[in-house]
């Protein structure tokens, strides 16, 4: 087996913490970069901070100086764990920056994924003396090893996956548990990371980004806002600059206090939800600003719209614009909590119509001559509801009015008027395809779900999404779930069923189509999601916390369950439903080869004996189509795509194949 390169790793980490030090003649920088006489090394005195030079404690008790030239007794190097079961092994080195968190008493570990343990690889402080925040660990793995892994902060045991870093919603979150992905190891490899973030150079957002000490990226002001993407972030202490403009729309007292600043720049248009949560703090407030730091304006914000007195707001953002999220401590309890930023695709709008009728021909009026109206109300995919139209028939026997509804929303037609009035008035709700999906006379209609084809599904209410739908579920409190739900799980509970969807036979090949659900979002650690096929076989979960991945039922039916407690609900959980024919026959591209997979150099080869043009379509884990290209050669450029998992469909003439593609 190969020898671990300890000196190289020390130099690697040392370079993150200190700039090169120039000392007077006869002096050298010690383990911490402080100058001291070179003759102190090997002088029979252990320089472990006991002795000082120019008023500074000096440390030569590190590997760089061979434990002060033998004057000090250094601890033996820890045993290197091995996950190599062959004669061809490589050393995998983990370097993780913890400057953005407080490391717990049980220390740091790498594990999860293919390690199958939360404490697989212990990580050690690079420099306990200076507390530079870097932790380092080593492990032997098989050459060619690949798979998922995570970092863990102070796990209680090998099964304490609640200590895992939260990567949900970030581009480096892969697989069913939102973990990091390790490409195949071909040689000794060093991995440089920040705990809970996707940086690959061991820098951390919010920890004086470039190390020049000027506070950039530390959240202390709008100019020094911490850059974030979709994901979950801790707010530990609020002591940055205040800004007086209040956008939360609630009680304006007290005025904004100190603020903790975050900046968010989306790569495409989204609907964004920001929500705070924690088990100890229950009162938060934030503002969302647009514009420049010297001229901010309100975009959103909230005080107490979340669970308990937590905060939650949903707002629209545009690609390339920077938005500033500022949490304040106007009340003393408003700090030390977490918040999550969710990104949702902007849904397509559908044009629907309401046809109005009156058998008397005098329009919608009651016996007193007062106008009668109805209200068209929708609940959007993020769970927000609002009125979009108030149609009324002013006169005559009939009339119509059009309105826009977003895909994935649920519609209600609410009749305004007493039961004894307007009995001759009625209406019909017609979807974009000309189908009457609801009607009433002196009555309301509820639960019309708008699917991806702009069709209305009566009674769906988003509860039974169909193939092609994107469904957002704000799950309610329940009386199940709990900390050990996954351990005690034996069989599905019908009371926990969220929806059941069956595919059918859309490709008309006489074989039931397969159905796939791609899951996203978060639950509380006590709330669990699990999925079965039509026969009741478990194909996902139970999983709490971050939710991700695609799961397929080959019998054409999926049943989605959520087991929640009455303690705290995070949410939402998102589900993208896709369906495809199961048959592997003449409609498949029989000799299709796609490589490399995972993709690491921006190009992927698509090889088949069929010489015609290829239509290549890629869909992300939210079901959004992110690429559609026709290529005549065998090479596809994917350099414009973010790292992650993609469902890929290749069509050549009347043949097509679908598979998963990983881009590193």
- Please write the tens of the pLDDT for every residue from 287-313: 999 999 999 999 999 887 766 677 888
Rounded to an integer, what distance in angstroms lies between the CA atom of residue 365 and that of residue 167? Answer: 57
Given this model, what pLDDT does residue 305 score? 77
Confidence of residue 561 (pLDDT cuts 50, 70, 90): very high
Q: Which of 276, 275, 277, 285 is nearest to 330 (CA)?
A: 285
Rounded to an integer, what distance in angstroms lies between the CA atom of residue 517 and that of residue 180? Answer: 22
Rounded to an integer, what distance in angstroms lies between the CA atom of residue 462 and that of residue 458? Answer: 10
pLDDT tens, residue by residue, 369-389: 777 778 888 877 666 677 888
- Domain 82-194, CATH homologous superfamily name and number: Immunoglobulins (2.60.40.10)
Given this model, what pLDDT does residue 263 score? 93
Given this model, what pLDDT does residue 380 score? 73
How high does pLDDT run on average in the chain?
A: 79
Could you tell me whether strands 349-358 and 398-406 are parallel, antiparallel, or unpaired per DSSP bridges?
antiparallel
Q: Say yes or no to pLDDT of 460 above 50.
A: no
Residue of higher predicted confidence among 625 and 233? 233
Given this model, what pLDDT does residue 463 score? 47
Rounded to an integer, what distance in angstroms lies between the CA atom of residue 304 and that of residue 310? Answer: 5
Break the chain into its structural domains and give their ranges: 6-69, 82-194, 226-345, 349-458, 470-580, 593-663
Hey, how many other C-beta atoms are within 10 angstroms of the C-beta on 586?
Answer: 9
Confidence of residue 212 (pLDDT cuts 50, 70, 90): very low
Q: How is residue 602 annotated by DSSP?
A: S
pLDDT tens, residue by residue, 88-142: 889 999 999 888 777 888 889 999 999 999 999 999 887 654 456 789 989 999 9
The CATH T-level fold of domain 470-580 is Jelly Rolls (2.60.120)
Does domain 226-345 match CATH 1.10.10? no
Segments of 367-485 assigned E as strands: 373-379, 385-389, 398-406, 410-416, 425-430, 436-440, 445-450, 456-458, 470-473
DSSP one-letter string for 65-107: GHHHHTTS-PPPPPPPPEE--SS-EEEEEEEEE-TTS---TT-
Given this model, what pLDDT does residue 221 score? 92
Is-same-fold flag (226-345; 593-663)?
Answer: no
Sequence-ordered list of residues with C-beta below 8 angstroms from that of 489, at least 6 positions apart, any chain: 528, 530, 542
Residues paired with 396 in a beta bridge? 362
The CATH T-level fold of domain 593-663 is Immunoglobulin-like (2.60.40)
Rounded to an integer, what distance in angstroms lies between the CA atom of residue 344 and that of residue 377? Answer: 21
Q: Say yes or no to pLDDT of 642 above 90.
A: no
Q: Say yes or no to pLDDT of 19 above 60.
A: no
pLDDT tens, residue by residue, 394-413: 888 899 999 999 887 878 88
Rounded to an integer, what distance in angstroms lies between the CA atom of residue 323 and that of residue 73? Answer: 53
Rounded to an integer, what distance in angstroms lies between the CA atom of residue 31 and that of residue 64? Answer: 7
Reading phi first (left if > 0) and then psi (alpha if -120 to 50, else beta), residue 177 is in alpha
Confidence of residue 178 (pLDDT cuts 50, 70, 90): confident
Given this model, what pLDDT does residue 114 score? 92
Rounded to an integer, what distance in angstroms lies between the CA atom of residue 562 and that of residue 480? Answer: 9
Average pLDDT (532-541) is 89
């Amino acid at each position: 087996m190969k020898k671990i390169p300890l000196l190289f790793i020390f130099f690697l980490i040392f370079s993150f913490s200190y700039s090169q030090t120039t000392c007077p003649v006869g002096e050298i920088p010690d383990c911490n970069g402080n100058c001291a006489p070179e003759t102190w090394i090997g002088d029979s005195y252990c320089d472990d901070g006991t002795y000082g030079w120019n008023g500074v404690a000096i440390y030569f008790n590190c590997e760089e100086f061979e434990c002060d030239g033998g004057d000090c007794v250094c601890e033996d190097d820890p045993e290197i764990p091995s996950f190599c079961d062959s004669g061809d092994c490589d050393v995998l080195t983990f370097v993780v920056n913890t400057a953005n968190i407080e490391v717990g008493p049980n220390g740091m570990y790498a594990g999860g994924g293919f390690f199958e343990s939360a404490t697989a690889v212990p990580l050690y402080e690079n420099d306990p003396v200076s507390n530079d925040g870097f932790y380092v660990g080593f492990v032997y793995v098989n050459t060619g090893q690949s798979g998922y892994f995570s970092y863990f902060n102070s796990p209680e045991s090998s099964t304490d996956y609640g200590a895992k870093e939260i990567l949900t919603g970030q581009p480096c979150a892969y697989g069913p548990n939102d973990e990091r992905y390790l490409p195949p190891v071909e040689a000794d490899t060093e991995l440089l990371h920040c705990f809970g973030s996707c940086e690959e150079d061991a820098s951390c957002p919010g920890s004086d980004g470039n190390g020049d000490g000027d506070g950039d990226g530390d959240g202390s002001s709008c100019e020094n806002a911490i850059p974030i993407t979709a994901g979950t972030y801790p707010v530990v202490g609020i002591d940055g600059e205040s800004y007086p403009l209040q956008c939360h729309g609630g009680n304006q007292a007290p005025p904004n206090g100190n603020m903790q600043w975050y900046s968010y720049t989306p790569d495409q248009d989204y609907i964004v939800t920001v929500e705070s949560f924690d088990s100890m703090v229950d009162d938060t407030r934030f503002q969302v600003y647009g514009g420049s730091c010297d001229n901010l304006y309100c975009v959103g914000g909230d005080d107490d719209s979340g669970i308990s007195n937590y905060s939650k707001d949903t707002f629209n953002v545009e690609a390339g614009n920077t938005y500033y999220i500022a949490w304040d401590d106007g009340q003393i309890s408003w700090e030390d909590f977490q918040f999550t930023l969710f990104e949702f695709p902007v849904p397509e709008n559908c044009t629907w119509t309401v046809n109005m009728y009156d058998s008397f021909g005098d329009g919608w009026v009651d016996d007193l001559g007062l106008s009668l109206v109805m209200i068209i109300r929708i609940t959007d995919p993020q769970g927000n509801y609002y009125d979009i139209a108030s149609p009324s028939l002013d006169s005559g026997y009939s009339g119509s009015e059009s309105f826009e509804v977003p895909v994935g929303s649920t519609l209600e037609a609410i009749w305004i008027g007493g039961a004894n009035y307007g009995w001759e008035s009625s209406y019909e709700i017609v979807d974009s395809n000309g189908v009457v999906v609801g009607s009433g006379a002196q009555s309301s209609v509820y639960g019309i779900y708008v699917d991806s084809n702009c069709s209305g599904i009566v009674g769906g209410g988003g509860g039974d999404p169909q193939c092609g739908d994107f469904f957002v579920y704000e799950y309610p409190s329940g009386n199940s779930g709990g900390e050990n739900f996954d351990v005690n799980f034996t069989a599905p509970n019908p009371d926990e069923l969220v929806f059941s969807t069956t595919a059918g036979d859309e490709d008309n090949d006489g074989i039931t189509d397969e159905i796939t659900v791609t899951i996203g979002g978060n639950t509380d650690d006590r709330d669990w999601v699990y999925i079965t096929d039509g026969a009741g076989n478990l194909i996902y979960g139970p999983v709490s916390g971050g939710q991700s991945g695609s799961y397929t039922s080959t019998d054409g039916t999926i049943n989605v369950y959520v087991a929640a407690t009455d303690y705290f609900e995070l949410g939402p959980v998102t589900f993208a439903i896709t369906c495809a024919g199961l048959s592997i026959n003449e409609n498949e591209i029989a000799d299709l080869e796609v490589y490399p997979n995972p993709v690491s150099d921006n190009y992927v080869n698509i090889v088949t004996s069929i010489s015609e043009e290829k239509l290549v379509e890629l869909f992300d884990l939210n079901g959004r189509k992110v690429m559609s290209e026709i290529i005549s050669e065998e090479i596809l450029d994917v350099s414009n795509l973010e790292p992650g998992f993609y469902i890929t469909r290749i069509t050549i003439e009347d043949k097509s194949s679908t598979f998963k593609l990983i881009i590193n």
